[in-house]
Structures are given as C-alpha cells and as structure tokens.
Amino acid sequence: MLERVDTEILIVGGGPAGLSVASTLPDHVSAILVHQDREIGKPVRTSGGCWMRDVDALGLPPEFAHPVNHADIYSDNEHLTVDMSSDPVAVLNVTDLYRWLSVQSNADIRCATKYLGTCRKGGQFVSRLRKNGEEYEVVSRIIVDASGWHCAVLQDLGLWAPPDRRGIGIEYEFAAPFHDPNRAALFFGSATPTGYGWAFPTTSGNLRLGVGVIEPDSDQSPKTLMQGLLEGGALEKMELPKPENFHVNAGILPSIPFTSNLVFDGVVRVGDSANMATPTLGEGIRICIEQGRNLGAALGDGSPDALRRWERMVRRKLALQYRIGFEANRRAAAYTPQDWDRSVARMRTLSPEELLRFFRNDFSARMILHRGAQSITRKISRALRGR
C-alpha cells in the first residue's frame, strides 16, 4: 500500500499557469501543486517578453519588469525601428515573478515531485507521485493539467496527445553593459528559418539572445542556428554584442491550432497544455496568469457550471484571434529570406498600433474584416482560374 494524501484539487505543474490557479483558490479549497523541478522559477525556459500594460493590469510587481521603449526588426536586407514608448514591452524576471506567484498561494507546493499517472475511482482521481525515488498517492476531486507542453495528465488519461508541432528555443543570457537597455531586437530570415530570433535586455543589465525554430517544419536544431548566428556577421550588422560567459536557457512550447475544449469531466487544462501562448510570437506568460487566475476563481466558485463558463469565456476571447494568428504562424514558417525582406518592408506601411497588435495577436475588428475580404478575394480568383 502506498501512502495516500487527500486534497480537493491536484495541480500538476508549477509554471505561471499552475501557480496562478493556486494563487486564486479560496482558503477553504485544499490544493496540492506538484512540480518536477527542484525549485520554482528555475531553470528558466522562457525569455519573459511581455508588455508593461499587462504587468500593470495583472497587478504584477513592477520591479520584476524591465521596460523597453524601442525595437529594431531585421530581415536579411531590411530594417525597421519601432517606437513603443506609448506601449512599452516588459522583459520579466521570471524567476522572481514565479516565486512571487507561489507566495500568493495557500496550496501545498511540492517541488522535485513528479506526477506519474492517474486512475479514476468512483468520482475521484487517484494519482501517483514520486519524490526522491519514493512513490505515494494523492486522491483528489479535480486535476488541473498545467504541465506545459508535456500535457502529462491528459496524455496519461488518453484525453490528449502532446503537440506534434512545437516551437523549440535556446537563449544565451550574458552581461551586456554597453547595450542600450531600452532597445530590443527581433530578427527573421536566414538566421532563423521557420522561427525568429530575439535580443531582450533584462532587469539586471543582461541581454537575452535567443533563436527559435518550429519542429517538424525545420530539422535544424536551435543550437546549430545559434552557432551560425555567432559565427556569421549578423550580430554586428544588428549592433548586438557577442555573448561571453553566457548562461543557457532552453524550452519548448506547442505550435498547433488552438482548440477550446478545456474541461474533461474533472480534468481541466490551462496554459501551454491548453496551447494558450499566442501563435504569432509564442507569448504565453500573461495569458497563463490571466487564465490561470480565472480558472482558480471558477474552481473556487464551486457551482457546477463555473468551469463551463470559464471554458466559454476563454473560447470567446481566444478562438478567433488565435485562428488568425495561427494562419500567420503557418504562412511565416514557410517564408524564404526574400519573403521576410518583403514582409519587414510591408511592416513599414502599418501604423505602430497595428504592428503591435499583430505582435500581441490582438487583431482589431478592422484587421479581421480586412483579412476576411482578402480570403474571399483569394477564393474568388481561385474559382475563376479553375473555370
């Protein structure tokens, strides 16, 4: 017989999604959060790009966010500078932020603890966990799958498969005392086929230089791309320093169409296990925090329909926006360096507001109508050609 612990809610995963669920549950709802890493917030698997307005709207401590007021966007032969002072980017100190989220919560947080699997017994779930080689069981009424791209719970119960298309990124973080702390860069083209690269200054005067690719669209590893970037002349052209004495962060996120079924008879998914990062840039932290908190409130509500209401609310907010963003993601992943030159040149014709909306995956009604009209025109011209 394994040792058994009872709780109402088991949360699997101590990233921003799981921690935000835990931080919003009312005191009378018992919860255990299991996290396979040794500590919250480390290792870092994300570059932490966000927006100052979200830091403010979500009530996150401003000292965990470094504001950036302008961005340079590069392709092989084009360059565009975007003034973002009216809507600055924030580069988050994710380690401190995630720890802060964990302190907001009354859940029993168990690090270095791996979720192994679950079986349903009566109206409950019996889950097996392992810490220091020792297994034990947790009996719960509800399980929240916040395990990121692993989809550990859904996969184990045969409810969902892990994503077959994934963004894989690697980032070198290093001291960059001479880099303008107000300047970020995004780069596209031959240095990063199928994905993109970034350079973000951080709260501590470091620079995070990263590249990401989409698998299986590309068979190149991000490490090889990073080596190519360091050995070629691209960094000098973009006036970015070369990393020395760097620390490596790496991570994976799903890159598949958003599907809005989130509640499966006692099992709920949130964050990357529900593919909630934006399809345009793969920005997930603010959405994980917002939707994690909303889910925590729905679980705390206790009424039978609260989870369905949450699911419907997420669908209303994300489904159409993410469908449009994913089309752009899919098209861009097939771009050649010449396509990227044309695309960066086209970005110049957009207003700064439209460009930032595109990056945020937050399309206005006008942009949605314009896209609808373009798609109808394409369909008509295809039909006419076929005649």
Which residues, including other chains, have CB under 8 Å from residue 384's CB and lie 6 or more apart?
none
Which one, 294 or 365, has the nearer CB to ligand FAD? 294
The sheet with strand 4-6 has its strands ordered as: 4-6, 134-140, 124-131, 113-121
- Pick one of 10, 21, 23, 48: the residue that binds ligand FAD (CB under 6 A): 48
- Pick one of 7, 47, 75, 329: the residue that binds ligand FAD (CB under 6 A): 47
- 15 contributes a contact to ligand FAD by CB under 6 A: yes
Residue carrying the six token digits 């994905």? 195
- Pick one of 181, 284, 296, 325: the residue that binds ligand FAD (CB under 6 A): 284
Cβ–Cβ under 8 Å, residues 5 and 137? yes
Q: What is the DSSP letter of 42?
A: B
CB of residue 51 vs ligand FAD: minimum separation in angstroms?
A: 9
Which one, 210 or 386, has the nearer CB to ligand FAD? 210
Alpha-carbon gap, residue 356 to 52, rounded angstroms: 13
- 45 contributes a contact to ligand FAD by CB under 6 A: yes
Site pattern 52..91 for ligand FAD (x: CB under 6 A): ----------------------------------------
Buried-state track 54-64, b at ≥16 Cβ within 10 A, e below 16: bbeeeebeeeb
- 163 contributes a contact to ligand FAD by CB under 6 A: no
Which one, 29 or 146, has the nearer CB to ligand FAD? 146
- 189 contributes a contact to ligand FAD by CB under 6 A: no
- 283 contributes a contact to ligand FAD by CB under 6 A: yes
- Pick one of 7, 10, 16, 89: the residue that binds ligand FAD (CB under 6 A): 16
Residue nearest to ligand FAD (CB): 284
Which residues, including other chains, have CB under 8 Å from residue 226's CB and lie 6 or more apart?
170, 172, 211
Alpha-carbon gap, residue 244 to 14, rounded angstroms: 31
Cβ–Cβ under 8 Å, residues 257 and 323? yes
Which one, 122 or 133, has the nearer CB to ligand FAD? 133
Cβ–Cβ under 8 Å, residues 101 and 119? no
Angle at 228 between CA 223 and CA 232, to 5 degrees: 155
Report the 10 Å Cβ neighbour count for 326: 19
- Interaction with ligand FAD in 112-131: which residues (CB under 6 A)? 114-115
Stretch that binds ligand FAD, among 9-17, 172-180, 325-333, 358-366 (CB under 6 A): 9-17
* Total of residues contacting ligand FAD (CB under 6 A): 38
- Pick one of 36, 69, 75, 294: the residue that binds ligand FAD (CB under 6 A): 36
The radius of gyration of the chain's CA atoms, rounded to the nearest angstrom, is 22
Which one, 189 or 212, has the nearer CB to ligand FAD? 212
Query: Whole-angstrom distance between the N-terminal and C-terminal Cα of the chain?
Result: 72
Report the 10 Å Cβ neighbour count for 259: 12
**Residues in touch with ligand FAD (CB under 6 A):** 12-18, 34-37, 45-50, 114-115, 146-148, 150, 152, 169, 212, 251-253, 271-272, 277, 282-286, 288
